[in-house]
Amino acid sequence: MKKADVNKKSKNTKKDKQSGGKYTKYVLIFGALLVVAIVAIVLITAFNQNSKDYVAKVGSEKINLQVFDLYLEEVKSAMLNEAQINPDTPQAENFWKTANFDGLSATEEAKRQALDALRELKIQVMKAKEKNVKLLDEEKKILSDQAESDIQYYGNRIDVSALKQLYMEQYLAYKFYLSETSAINITDDEIKSVYDSDPKSFDMVTARHILISKRNLETGEWYSEEEQQEAENMAKDLLERVNAGEDMEKLAQEYSEDTGVTENGGLYTFTKFDSYVQEFKDWAINANVGDTGIVESTYGYHVMRLENRETIPYEDVEAGIKNSMLQEKFKELLEEWKKDPAYAVKINDKVYNTLQ
């Protein structure tokens, strides 16, 4: 072989090596870019998935989507109950479409209430951590076991880990409440002063009512102004008949739209500590036996008569008064904490806006 050929071969070999080096370099660069792309996709997917798991943040605390759904369901149930509407009926469906709460739809109002309740829970959890209020190991086990037992009632609405977390946060908030209120000094004189200022308000009262609704109970639609005026006129007519001496229980059985009237004839016994329609309760607690009148509430027009009132001794209501005072003072603290930017709520709009 000629020398020239040898030189030519050497040049080609060098070129081949250079080409091979470039190819290897490109493969390595492409591979690195591919890895970066895959990692980015994984991170984006994880981020997107993660962003779907929570409805809002309170400080650094996330509000779990499944937990929010449970709270929302409870709020919606309470709203329907207050409006005396059975769920899974055309009336309920129409309620969510047409009811208005200070400019918010019924659904948005339910979401607002659920979010506010969970925000307050998260604030208490964070405050508990700040003040070193903790759950004991045995408390954690009891709560964990309870969640595992209860999970069957929730179906697929929440997983057991989220339910355990919820139970533990709720109990931690309760322990924090006890810790905070134990430091609040309410004297016996202060409690007695509340009682003495209006002892009548602590009586046990019995009232009968006839409810004339402001909306169509079959469709759930609110009556027009004209129709509501007709309902009010009917209530006035019934009040005149009651005052004229007609049997109010029979009138209630015939005209009242209270769903419990068939069982109790419109008769209710309660104290100020019981959960009743506020307007209904306020009227009864401040009335004298035999007084009649009409009370308007979100339910409609209540034709009222106070049937009985029984004085409750101070000793029997002392604990209730103290608890109410503690709850009020703790509520004031909570409202102050809510003003702190550290506990501001940041809504995850992509999730929150899709909830119904």
CATH assignment at residue 256: 3.10.50.40
Range 166-175 burial, b when 16+ CB lie within 10 A, else e: bbbbebbbeb
Residues 41 and 70 in one domain: no
Residues 223 and 252 in one domain: yes
Q: Is 324 part of a structural domain of the chain?
A: no
Residues 30 and 79 in one domain: no
Rg of the Cα atoms in the chain: 33
Residues 177 and 217 in one domain: no
Residues 62 and 112 in one domain: yes
**What whole-number distance in Å separates Cα of residue 61 and Cα of residue 236?**
53
* Token pair of 65 as six digits: 């989507």
Q: What's the domain range around 9? A: 1-51
pTM score? 0.68
Q: Is 173 part of a structural domain of the chain?
A: yes
Total Cβ atoms within 10 A of residue 187: 9
Q: Is 114 part of a structural domain of the chain?
A: yes
The β-bridge relationship of strands 61-64 and 54-58 is: antiparallel
**What whole-number distance in Å separates Cα of residue 272 and Cα of residue 199?**
11
Q: Is 302 part of a structural domain of the chain?
A: yes
Closest by CA to 162, choosing from 74, 56, 68, is: 68
DSSP element (H, E) containing 340: none
Residues 4 and 65 in one domain: no
Q: How many domains in the chain? A: 3
Q: Is 196 part of a structural domain of the chain?
A: no
Give the model's pLDDT for residue 92: 86
**CA distances to 81, 98, 186, 242, 291 from 212, in Å:** 17, 20, 43, 15, 19
**What whole-number distance in Å separates Cα of residue 322 and Cα of residue 330?**
12
**What whole-number distance in Å separates Cα of residue 279 and Cα of residue 299?**
10
Give the three-state DSSP class for 237. helix
Closest by CA to 80, choosing from 66, 72, 92, is: 92
Q: Which residues pair with 295 in a beta bridge?
A: 302
Q: Is 111 part of a structural domain of the chain?
A: yes
* Token pair of 337 as six digits: 């904490």
> Could you tell me if 257 and 213 are in contact, meaning their C-beta atoms sit under 8 angstroms apart?
yes
Range 253-288 burial, b when 16+ CB lie within 10 A, else e: eebbbbeebeeebbbbebbbeeeebeebbebbbebe
Q: Which positions ≥6 away from 59 have C-beta within 8 Å? A: 122, 126, 342, 343, 344
Give the model's pLDDT for residue 52: 60
Residues 20 and 104 in one domain: no
Q: Is 25 part of a structural domain of the chain?
A: yes
Residues 45 and 88 in one domain: no
Output the furthest CA–CA distance in the chain (Å, rounded).
137
Give the model's pLDDT for residue 1: 40
Total Cβ atoms within 10 A of residue 80: 21
> Could you tell me if 327 and 180 are in contact, meaning their C-beta atoms sit under 8 angstroms apart?
no
Residues 74 and 116 in one domain: yes
Residues 1 and 68 in one domain: no
In eight-state DSSP terms, residue 206 is E
Total Cβ atoms within 10 A of residue 191: 19
> Could you tell me if 136 and 89 are in contact, meaning their C-beta atoms sit under 8 angstroms apart?
no
> Could you tell me if 212 and 238 are in contact, meaning their C-beta atoms sit under 8 angstroms apart?
yes
pLDDT tens, position by position, for the chain (356 residues)?
433 443 444 444 444 444 455 444 444 444 444 444 333 333 333 333 344 689 999 998 999 999 999 999 999 988 887 777 777 778 888 888 888 898 899 999 999 999 999 999 999 999 999 999 999 999 999 999 999 999 998 888 999 999 999 999 999 999 999 999 999 999 999 999 999 998 888 999 999 999 999 888 777 677 888 998 999 999 999 999 999 999 999 999 999 999 888 889 999 999 988 888 889 999 999 999 999 999 998 789 999 999 999 999 999 999 999 999 999 999 999 999 999 999 999 999 999 989 88
Give the model's pLDDT for residue 100: 87
> Could you tell me if 260 and 197 are in contact, meaning their C-beta atoms sit under 8 angstroms apart?
no
Q: Is 197 part of a structural domain of the chain?
A: no
